[in-house]
Amino acid sequence: MRVSPEGPYRRIGLFGGTFDPPHWGHVKTARGAADELALDELAFLPAVQPPHKRHRRLTPFALRRQMLECLLPLDPRFRLCLVEAERSLPGTTLETVEALRRQGFTEDRCHLVWLMGSDSLLELESWHRPDDLLESIEVAVLPRPGYPPEQAPERFRSRVRLLATPLVDLAAQDIRAGRIPLEEAVPPPVARFIRQHRLYR
Ligand code: ATP
């Protein structure tokens, strides 16, 4: 189901990424964040070709989107947000948030929280206009093994909410490289999809 600005006031988490493929690290931290932040909905927001991954060939968007659809039955709060594909956005998070505001996701109708792993917090300096991003939306950080949030610059740390979500030592690149058995790394419907479509061989 797609996330929509219509309906009663809700707290909505936005979890952006390439999801190539989506794995248990995404699912477990997303659930934990939804609990801790009392979110009504948590929308996975697949990037078409994010600026920081422009030198990597990604699995076609349509397939990454279908893998995310496999996650939706796992939690009643899970949603999909396709704003980046629909608007051919180049993928900077600030532009994505601005586009969502224009679509009606305004603070009088819903509260938006942008979720990011602590690896992203450590790289935030290199993002497009990070200070404006932190002004435009609440940002919550999912701790990730190997990326201590306390190493982020104080000016970012003081403006994000650090969550106590489960630590999951998984990365999509290890799955693509076959370093982890698929069944351990991704939920069963995603594993079936990957095998059916012969991805990451
Ligand atoms: P890759 O290995 O291809 O770089 P990834 O596993 O980091 O991929 P992405 O799709 O790039 O996955 O990540 C989307 C978002 O999820 C990012 O904010 C990232 O920090 C976060 N994330 C990914 N894996 C984890 C994890 N194990 N724990 C916490 N956050 C994670």
CA of 26 to the centre of ligand 1 (A): 7
Is the shortest distance between the CB of 19 and ligand 1 below 6 Å? Answer: yes
Are 87 and 74 spatial neighbours (Cβ–Cβ below 8 Å)? no
Between 85 and 139, the more confident residue is 139
Q: CATH classification of 10-196 is 3.40.50.620, yes or no?
A: yes
Does residue 201 have a pLDDT over 90?
Answer: no
pLDDT one-digit tens code per residue, 64-105 = 999 999 999 999 999 999 998 887 666 689 999 999 999 999
Residue nearest to atom 22 of ligand 1 (CA): 117
Residue nearest to atom 13 of ligand 1 (CA): 17
Residue nearest to atom 26 of ligand 1 (CA): 25
Please report the DSSP string for the chain in residue order: -B--S-SS-EEEEEEEE--SS--HHHHHHHHHHHHHTT-SEEEEEE-SS-GGGTTSPPPPHHHHHHHHHHHGGG-TTEEE--HHHHTT----HHHHHHHHHHTT--TTTEEEEEEEEHHHHHHGGGSSSHHHHHHHSEEEEE-BTTB-GGGS-HHHHTTSEEP-PPP----HHHHHTT-S-HHHHS-HHHHHHHHHTT---
Does residue 136 have a pLDDT over 90?
Answer: yes
Quote the mean pLDDT of the chain.
95
Nearest CA to 127 out of 93, 152, 156 is that of 93
Q: What average pLDDT does the segment 140-152 reach?
A: 97
Domain ranges of the chain: 10-196
CA of 78 to the centre of ligand 1 (A): 17
Q: Whole-prediction pTM value?
A: 0.96
pLDDT one-digit tens code per residue, 154-171 = 999 999 999 999 999 999
CA of 96 to the centre of ligand 1 (A): 18
Nearest CA to 18 out of 78, 84, 74 is that of 84
pLDDT one-digit tens code per residue, 44-70 = 999 987 766 667 889 999 999 999 999
Are 194 and 176 spatial neighbours (Cβ–Cβ below 8 Å)? no
pLDDT computed for residue 187 by the predictor: 98
Ligand 1 atom closest to Cα of residue 167 = 28
Residue nearest to atom 21 of ligand 1 (CA): 117
Q: Give the Cβ contact number of residue 37 at 10 Å.
A: 20
CA of 20 to the centre of ligand 1 (A): 9
